[in-house]
Every structure is written in structure tokens, then in C-alpha cells.
Amino acid sequence: MTSGGQYKAALVGCGRIASGFADGDGTLGIYTHAQAYQACRRTELAAVCDVDAAKAEACARRWGVPHWFVDPARMLDAIRPDLVSVCTPDETHAPLAFSLLSSPHPPRGLLCEKPLATTVAEARRVVALARAAGVRLGVNYIRRHLPNLRAVRDALRGGEWGAVQSVHGWYTKGVLHNGTHWFDLVRFLLGEVVRVSGRLAHDPDPADPGVDAMLELETGACARLTSCDSRKFTVFEMDLMLEKGRLELREAALVPRLFQARPSARFAGYTELLETPRDFGGSRDSLLHAVEDLADAVTAGRDPLCSGLDGVAALAVAEAALESARKDGRPVPPGRYEA
């Protein structure tokens, strides 16, 4: 920790989610790890690291960070950070986590960008290593940290709008990269997935293909996810049909819009879905919430709100969708995701 009692923090990877998204219009608030560690009163960004030396140096200068590195192991030895964010490409998440957690000087808290790994087996190993090292492990599925979506979850689980009739969603950029975001949101809002069917669709990246998926939930409801072509646009949405209304999660599924079932003024004797303005709370500063939660998890000795096991569970659904797609769409139960 610093002399002022703050947790020393460091970044591995200096790309968009680490720093570059700060160039946006500000609508999302604090949406990079660098911004979050600087804004959080309990943390100080002490170092950044990237295999591209020029990128690491530029990131350090941008955020006024005193140290930059190209080797994560050297950074750990020199700085001894309490908290580390892994913000590198997907296929490097697990190898970097293995290295950081096996270090003689591991951090006390590790926040990994999604997905935690590219396979359930790798992700389970990361969770096991974190537990053995006493490191609090979080995965940045950002929506779990937002006050408005936590309020939506509480209302859904409390039965305010009745049971879920059906769920539909759309996404781009691969079943692992963004599909697991959607699967995690389903688990967060609606509960566990018991069976998955899949079909290969858009974004035919052999390393991370787009998959259309149907999820059977433990509640008996179904959630359908459709892959779109990322060469045309980016999209990430969820639409829930409920007994007493409809809930749309728009604008990257960050903004809820509620429609409630009410007698129709246009069609006598019918009931329509009419938009009902409602303030669910804030949708900004997701990375600040995630960093504050990680710091609190380290202090309290608890798991972060989006834990390593949550990251494994999202991957288990993705793996089941891929397996089903390769078996002509036959339903597949998600594999074990317990550590």
C-alpha cells in the first residue's frame, strides 16, 4: 500500500478498455481501468505494462503514472501492486493470470477483463490458483456493477412484473468475447441456465465464432440470443417479455425501458404495453464501481460482485452453445463450473 493507505494498482495491457475508451464523449462516465484507479479514493495507479513499449509509455504519460514496463513479472517485482487489472486480448487472459498468480509477489486483488479464459478448463485453473494464493479474483462483466441493473434484478427477483415469458437478445463479436457478456447478464438477472442449443451464425471467426443460442433456464423460461454481423455495426441488447409488462435493455443493455400492461385507449377491451417512465438509478462509471468493489473485496476478505466463478459459468454456457452448434443444434447442458 502507499504511504497514504491507498492500494497500489497496476494495469497489464494499455489498449481501449485500459485507457483508450476515455476518448469517447463521456456518456458512459468512467469506462476505463486507468480512469477508475485514478478516480477511486482508495487506489493509486502506480504502474502500467504493455508488450508494446511505445503504448506503455504513452499510457503512463497520459495518466501521469510514474512507472511503465513491458514485462509483467518485472513490474510485480519492482512495484509490488496490491491490485492488478488484466486488459489484454482475450487469448492472453488466462496465461497472464497464471503468471501473476504464480508470482512470488502476487497482487491481493486481480480484475480480469472478460472472458476470464477461452475454455472452462483454463478458467477453473485460474480460479483455483487465485484461491490458493489468497487473491480476490473479479471478472469485468460490467453490468453487474451498475445501480440501475441491480435495481432491475431486484425487481425481477421480487416478482414485481410477474414471471418471465421469454427473453431475446442481439450481440456482435463472438460467443466468447461478447456472448459471455449476455450469458452473464442472463444469470445475473434471471438465474441459472440448464440447457443450451446453438447454431453457427455471423462473425465466422474460427477462434471465436458468432453463435445463435437458445438457453433453457431453471425457471422454465427460454432466452434466445442472436448473433449479428459486426462488420455492419455493433449491438448488444436484451428484451424481456414478462407477465405484467416488457423490459427493454437498450444502448449496450445499459439503459432499461419499462412498458407495463394497461387497458388500451385505442382498442376497447384489449390490454397494451405502454411505456412507463421510471428512474432505476445510474448507468455510468461502471469501471469505477468495479474497482471500488475490488478494493472493498480485498479489505473485507470476500469475493468481488462478479467473481471468478461467475466468469467460469459464463464460459460454460458459451462452450455448451458451441458444442451444440457442432452437434447439429442438439441441446447440451453447461458443464461444471465449480472450482
Catalogue all structural domains in the chain, each as residue range(s) with its CATH number: 7-143+287-306 (3.40.50.720), 146-282+316-325 (3.30.360.10)
295 φ/ψ angles, rounded to the nearest 5 degrees? -60, -40
The pLDDT of residue 313 is: 97
Q: What's the distance, Cα to Cα, between the start and end of the chain in Å?
A: 30
| pLDDT (0 to 100) of residue 136 | 98
Does residue 330 carry a pLDDT above 60?
A: yes
User: Lowest-confidence range among 1-15, 43-57, 249-263?
Assistant: 1-15
Residue 2 pLDDT grade (very low, low, confident, very high; cuts 50, 70, 90): confident
Residues found in the chain: 339
> What does pLDDT average to over the chain?
96
> CA distances (Å), 70 to each of 67, 105, 185, in order?
11, 17, 34
Judged on CB neighbours under 10 Å (0-12, 13-18, 19+), 10 is buried
Average pLDDT over residues 168-182: 97
**Do 32 and 17 touch, CB atoms closer than 8 A?**
yes
Find all residues with CB under 8 Å of 5, minimum gap 6, and list them: none
Task: Please say if the pLDDT value at position 202 is more than 80.
Answer: no
Residue 129, pLDDT above cutoff 60:
yes
**Averaged over 14-21, what is the pLDDT?**
97
Give the pairing of strands 83-86 and 109-112: parallel
Q: How many CB atoms lie within 10 A of CB 163?
A: 12
Res 338: pLDDT: 55
Range 141-159 average pLDDT: 97
Q: Kindly indicate the confidence band of residue 339, based on its pLDDT and cuts at 50, 70 and 90.
A: very low
Q: What is the pLDDT of residue 206?
A: 83
- Angle (CA) 157-315-28 rounded to 5° is 65
> What's the whole-number mean pLDDT along residues 189-196?
97
- What are the CA-CA distances from residue 242 to residues 85, 177, 222 (Å)? 37, 28, 12
Q: Letter for the amino acid at 210?
A: G
The predicted structure's pLDDT at residue 335: 77
Residue 143 in this model has a pLDDT that exceeds 60: yes
Neighbours of 27 (CB within 10 A): 10
What pLDDT shows up at residue 205?
82
Q: Is pLDDT at 106 greater than 90 in this prediction? A: yes
Give the burial class of 55: count Cβ atoms within 10 A of its Cβ; 0-12 exposed, 13-18 middle, 19 or more buried: buried
Structure confidence at residue 148 (pLDDT):
98
Stretch 233-241: mean pLDDT: 97
What pLDDT is attached to residue 337?
57
Mean pLDDT in residue range 188-201: 96
Q: Is the peptide bond before 277 cis (omega within 30 degrees of 0)?
A: no
Task: Tell me what pLDDT residue 265 has.
Answer: 93
- Is residue 51 scored above 80 in pLDDT? yes
